[in-house]
Amino acid sequence: MEPTQGISRRALLSWIGKTAGAVAMYQAMTSLGFAAESSFDSNNYELSGAPKGSSVLILGGGLAGMTAAYELRKAGYKVKILEFNPKAGGRCWTLRGGDKYTELGGHTQECKFDEGQYLNPGPWRIPYHHHAVLHYCKQFDVKLEVFNQVNHNAYFHSTKAFDGKPKRYREVQADFQGHIAELLSKCVDQKGLDQAMTKQDTERLLLVMREWGALNGDNEYVKGVESSLMRGFDVQPGGGLMPVEQYSQPIDRQELLNSSLWKHLHYGQAFEYQSTLFQPVGGMDMIAKAFEKEVGSLIRYNSKVTKIDQDDNGVTVNYVDSQNPGETMTETADWCVCTIPLSILGQIPSTFSNKMTSAIRAVPYDSSVKVGLQFKRRFWEEDEHIYGGVSYTDMPIELISYPSTDYHSSGKGVLLGGYLWDENSYEFTSMTPDMRVKKALEYGSKIHPQYMDEFDNGISVAWHRVPWVNGCYGMWTPETREAHYNNLCEIDGRIVLAGEHASYIPAWMEGAILSSLDAIKRLHQHALDSSKQNA
Amino acid sequence: MKTLTRLALALGVSSLVSMPLVAGTPTVSESSTFEQTSGEDLYNSICQGCHMEGGKGADSGAGYYPALANNPKLAAPGYPIYVLTNGLGGMPSFKRYLSDEQIMEVVNYVRTNFGNDYQQKATLEDVKMMTNR
């Protein structure tokens, strides 16, 4: 039976449905991967007993390639890595003061950050459940610190709501919960849910709603001590004869719904971004450097692969020096682990089966842009009391992330001033690096008016213009997974592929490492089987 | 003031469009959809990210982006329409980002610029045959 007065159950469910449905849709559209716990088995990944004298050539010195090199060498293989860049790490990358970066198209940026400041253009967070990344961090003694994802004092901002003035996360969260709780408790009071619930259940639900939603004694979400304890006070409780505390006014229910600000609440609640997240102290490439310390002696840097050939006897790879392309050099091995991004691999003449070739060509690479901005002082901390975390906006920059390091220190700080996807990412990719920084400043100053006065310098990375990857990460769809994923991962003759593109955790370092561990386990077994047959 | 903003949004006017367009300068869409309508604006704001200014492509990296300048593959309009609609290798499909009109405009732009001079215009029907919408 529908209640005859007040809020109807249908209206309530439709309100919740509208918001929850939109959140689910938004999440499905923006989420990079499939939030599954990593299946890293720390007791059962090591390999041993390589067939005597066998060799493996590894293409690409990113995390997948260096994981393969480290484990395969331990197993007894003769290992060599060809890496395009003059350094290892691939997309596990950090820009610091003094670094020069030339993107495709020829624009060179020199990073002018102060010492200790940095931008991670690629991966920047490590979820607590990315067990393989954490395993190697511990093994190689990479010092970690907590990455602050959710900050209740950071902002949600929309150009179309509240005259473009940002709201604090805590205000939106408290008011969103409070209004839902009030609606639901009214519904219960009107016996709208009686058919489904016993009297005892109803009372329990009312109690839950009162606590969860910070309702007052009349089950209302209104200005008062309960709501202020969640959303914050206009005047905070003080000492002595200081002004008496003042409660804050919740945002009107309809206005909040129309603002769409609640859309941003789900980010920190998704499995991938839940506490605890980590970052390496000093920059993400500390992980790359730690791997490089182990396997650096196996790497031939500045090597641009130009041809991959294989037959019954082995693998032959042609390459040129990427800094001074001259004569073609050749490397041969019994086996090959190829971690070259598919966007690049698809352009290299190679001897692969037809189904492997089709799989390599089936995965487009996504667009993404990051902008790092150094400011003369940490005004977000000093003026606005935001320590780490992320503010979200409907402007093209999408978010501003505050540094999760050196909290409360004097001096300069670097913000992630934009992390763009989709349409705006393509547009920013098409800009000159200077224009990207300028636009990020223009937009960001609508949230932080201090921007223009405090700006020091900036740098940007548009992933489609990164010379060694031509994109951000491999974009699979359910259809392309069905048609090509297994073919891509299976050993093709003497070559197996690895990297985030050969994983169900695309764009994450965990995907790259797990893919590599799985690939070399199968390759090792295959090598053992082959050597038995030949014996 | 509010009315003006709404009007601007309804017309798809982004903040940069009011500035004089410098050759090759991208514009920024502020409505979560590409607001550019002319072939030139679409090229500068999207394609230029990879195919670069003047359609010259890029070959200084581990891979390359094909040049669109002086490219005989653009002779028949069907080929660029197909690539934009379906993607190709590492290049994503733009079907979900662009309307049929936008695809037609940008295809005709690249086929008559950068040293290309293919006068047979792509029509909306040509595009619709490929996008099936």
Alpha carbon of A25: minimum distance to chain B alpha carbons (Å): 15
Mean pLDDT to the nearest integer, A110-117: 98
- The predicted-structure confidence for A121-148, as pLDDT tens digits, reads as follows 999 999 999 999 999 999 999 999 999 9
Distance CA(A218)–CA(A226), nearest Å, equals 12
Same domain, A459 and A401: yes
**Which pLDDT belongs to residue A37?**
61
Of A159, A394, A427, the CB nearest to B29: A427
Task: State the total domains in chain B.
Answer: 1
Residue keyed to tokens 């037959």? A311
In which domain, by residue range, is B20 found? 2-131
Distance CA(A447)–CA(A440), nearest Å, equals 11
* Cα dihedral A426/B58/A94/A368 (nearest 10): 10
Contact B63 A470 (CB under 8 A): yes
- In percent, the amount of chain A with pLDDT more than 90 equals 86
Residue of B nearest to A439 (CA): B28
**Which pLDDT belongs to residue B4?**
40
Contact B62 A468 (CB under 8 A): yes
CA atoms within 13 A on the CB side of A337: 40
Contact A470 B97 (CB under 8 A): no
In which domain, by residue range, is A193 found? 9-30+162-259
Q: Which residues in chain A have their CB less than 8 angstroms from residue B23's CB? A: none
Residue A327 within any structural domain of the chain? yes
Q: Which two tokens stand for residue A454?
A: 């405090």
Residue B7 parent element (H or E): helix B2-10
pLDDT grade for A13, boundaries at 50, 70 and 90: low
Mean pLDDT to the nearest integer, A265-289: 95
Residue A43 within any structural domain of the chain? no
**Which pLDDT belongs to residue A44?**
82
Of A348, A396, A429, the CB nearest to B49: A429
Burial code (b: 16+ CB inside 10 Å, e: under 16) for A40-73 equals beeeebebeebbeebbbbbbbbbbbbbbbbbbbb
Same domain, A197 and A227: yes
Q: What is the mean pLDDT of chain A?
A: 93
Nearest Cα neighbor of A527 from A487, A486, A496, A485 is A496
Residues 6+ away with beta carbon under 8 Å from B83: B91
Same domain, A145 and A213: no
**Which pLDDT belongs to residue A20?**
57
**Which pLDDT belongs to residue B6?**
40
User: Cβ(A40)–Cβ(A137) under 8 Å?
Assistant: no
Same domain, A448 and A374: yes
- What number is the ipTM of this complex? 0.90
Global confidence as pTM: 0.91
Q: Which residues in chain B have their CB less than 8 angstroms from residue A101's CB? A: none
Task: State the total domains in chain A.
Answer: 3
Same domain, A211 and A352: no
Distance CA(A484)–CA(A388), nearest Å, equals 40
Distance CA(B92)–CA(B133), nearest Å, equals 19
Q: What is the 3-state secondary structure (H, E, C) of A270-311?
A: CHHHCCCEEEECCCCHHHHHHHHHHHHHHEECCEEEEEEEEE
Residue A44 within any structural domain of the chain? no
DSSP bridge pairs for A155 = A168
Residue keyed to tokens 């979900």? B96
Residues 329-358 of A with CB under 8 A from B: 340-344, 346-348
User: Cβ(A412)–Cβ(A403) under 8 Å?
Assistant: no
Same domain, A279 and A386: yes
- Domain with residue A296: its CATH number is 3.50.50.60
Contact B49 A424 (CB under 8 A): no
Same domain, A459 and A371: yes
- The predicted-structure confidence for A440-490, as pLDDT tens digits, reads as follows 999 999 999 999 999 999 999 999 999 999 999 999 999 999 999 999 999
Same domain, A279 and A389: yes
Same domain, A306 and A439: no
DSSP bridge pairs for A331 = A317
Q: Does A470 touch chain B (CB under 8 A)?
A: yes
Q: Does A515 touch chain B (CB under 8 A)?
A: no
- Domain with residue B14: its CATH number is 1.10.760.10
- The predicted-structure confidence for A169-196, as pLDDT tens digits, reads as follows 999 999 999 999 999 888 877 766 656 6
- The predicted-structure confidence for A207-249, as pLDDT tens digits, reads as follows 999 999 999 999 999 999 999 999 999 999 999 999 999 999 9
Residues 286-305 of A with CB under 8 A from B: 304-305
**Which pLDDT belongs to residue A9?**
52
Mean pLDDT to the nearest integer, A106-113: 98
Q: Which residues in chain A have their CB less than 8 angstroms from residue B92's CB? A: 364-367, 475
Q: Residue A526's CB: how many other CB atoms inside 10 A?
A: 14
Q: Does B97 touch chain A (CB under 8 A)?
A: yes
pLDDT along chain B (133 residues), means of 10: 39 42 84 96 98 97 98 97 98 98 98 96 97 96
**Which pLDDT belongs to residue A28?**
40
